[in-house]
Structure 1
Amino acid sequence: MSNSTSDLDEPIHVVPYDPAWAGLGRALAERLAAGLRGLPGAVGLPGAVGVEHIGSTSVPGLAAKPVLDVQVGCAPGDVDMVVAHVRALGFEDLGESGVPGRRYLRRRAEQPANVHVVALGGGLWTDNLLLRDHLRAHPEAAACYARAKREAAAATGRLLAYSAHKAATVAELLAEARETGA
């Protein structure tokens, strides 16, 4: 497992929405879910694991980094088993990478993708789905986020600075999502 900032930080760019992202995200989520169903232990039980396409590539029409984000929710005791499964699919484990309660894995070969392993039903799980669903349901919020993403990418060009640059917008949109319920 790698967890240094230099390992995590990478060049980024934001591109217009690609309609193929929906199918690619769904396929990756299904591939992860199918493999996890076959594992022994709690993750093999129905309902004990969740897999969702999240992030900007999951929001129709939203500009994004051309990197899929998939969230895997599981019981805290199953995290290492889930991470081992995701690593076997060619993903690099970068540990928590500055987000307590999340294991971050990435793959840059094939279709670039990130996998976020979090507690199923926990705060990170809920917030990621709430923000995604809010952006899907509110085009004006998605447009605001797209502007913030383009500005952050143009101003920084690297993942960590990009994330920091748009953090206030993400917090505002998440607050809106909590108020409206989606």
Structure 2
Amino acid sequence: MSDTIEMTPYSSRWPEEFKEIAARLEAVLGNYALAVDHIGSTSVPGMPAKDVIDVQVTVPSLEQPIQPLLEQLGYERKYHLADHRPPGRTDLADPELEKHFYFKQQRRINLHVRVAGRFNQRCALLCRDYLHSHPHAAQAYGVIKQELARYFPNNADAYYDIKDPVFDLIMEGAYEWSGTRL
């Protein structure tokens, strides 16, 4: 699998692929999964994206014994990571708030297992919903991502060093739109 950052035009097959992925996850995880959501750029109609389906599984705790169940479906746990924290968000001083498990699968699925109610779990959904309701913001964000991929196709650090603060700016609008600070 290539490490090259490559954007593709929106594909109408992405929502259908997500439905198939979600059905398999829900069948295996049962009550461990409080929700299975399509997140990330492939969840936003019309937005160009890397051809990777981002899925968020919401759980009550990271102590749930779900790793063996996910391994049955071919997911490989990559690491226990802390999500990006927007600069200046002193209300997110507890690093436990952003922790989650991250799994990958051969089809290029990024599976994020996050705890219900935590900032990172709510933020992924708010971002998706905001971009759904603000197609001009989604289009502009898509252009930024395409240009970053064009300028930095083999430099993920540079790509994310610029993309993350742009995302933070978009999220400030999302917080205001939703009436929440998460």
TM-score under structure 1 length normalisation: 0.82
Tell me the CA shift for residue 121 of structure 1. 2.0
Q: Report what 1:71 is aligned to.
A: 56
Q: Report what 1:89 is aligned to.
A: 73
Distance 1:69 1:11 in 2: 18
Tell me the CA shift for residue 30 of structure 1. 2.0
Distance 2:61 2:112 in 1: 13
* Percentage identity across paired residues of the two chains: 33
Q: Report what 1:180 is aligned to.
A: 177
> Using a 3 Å threshold, how does the CA distance of structure 1 residues 168 and 78 change in structure 2: closer, same or farther?
same
> Using a 3 Å threshold, how does the CA distance of structure 1 residues 77 and 98 change in structure 2: closer, same or farther?
closer
Tell me the CA shift for residue 25 of structure 1. 1.1
Deviation per residue, 1:8-37 (Å, 9 max, x gap): x93220010000001101221221112111
Unaligned 5+ residue runs, structure 1?
1-8
Indicate the larger mover: 130-139 or 88-97.
Answer: 88-97
The answer as to whether partners of 2:152 and 2:159 remain within 8 angstroms in 1 is: yes
Distance 1:141 1:170 in 2: 11
The answer as to whether partners of 1:83 and 1:117 remain within 8 angstroms in 2 is: no
Moved over 4 A (4+): none
Q: Which one of 127, 132, 138 corresponds to residue 136 of structure 1?
A: 132
Distance 1:152 1:95 in 2: 26
The answer as to whether partners of 2:62 and 2:114 remain within 8 angstroms in 1 is: no
For these two proteins, the number of residue pairs brought into alignment is: 163
Distance 1:96 1:151 in 2: 30
Tell me the CA shift for residue 160 of structure 1. 4.1
Deviation per residue, 1:152-174 (Å, 9 max, x gap): 21122244432222111110111
> Using a 3 Å threshold, how does the CA distance of structure 1 residues 83 and 161 change in structure 2: closer, same or farther?
farther
Q: Report what 2:101 is aligned to.
A: 103
Deviation per residue, 1:60-110 (Å, 9 max, x gap): 10000000000011022444x223322221122111245341111111x3x
Indicate the larger mover: 82-91 or 55-64.
Answer: 82-91
Unaligned 5+ residue runs, structure 2?
84-97
Q: Report what 1:52 is aligned to.
A: 37
CA-based RMSD of the aligned residues comes to 2.0
Q: Report what 1:167 is aligned to.
A: 164
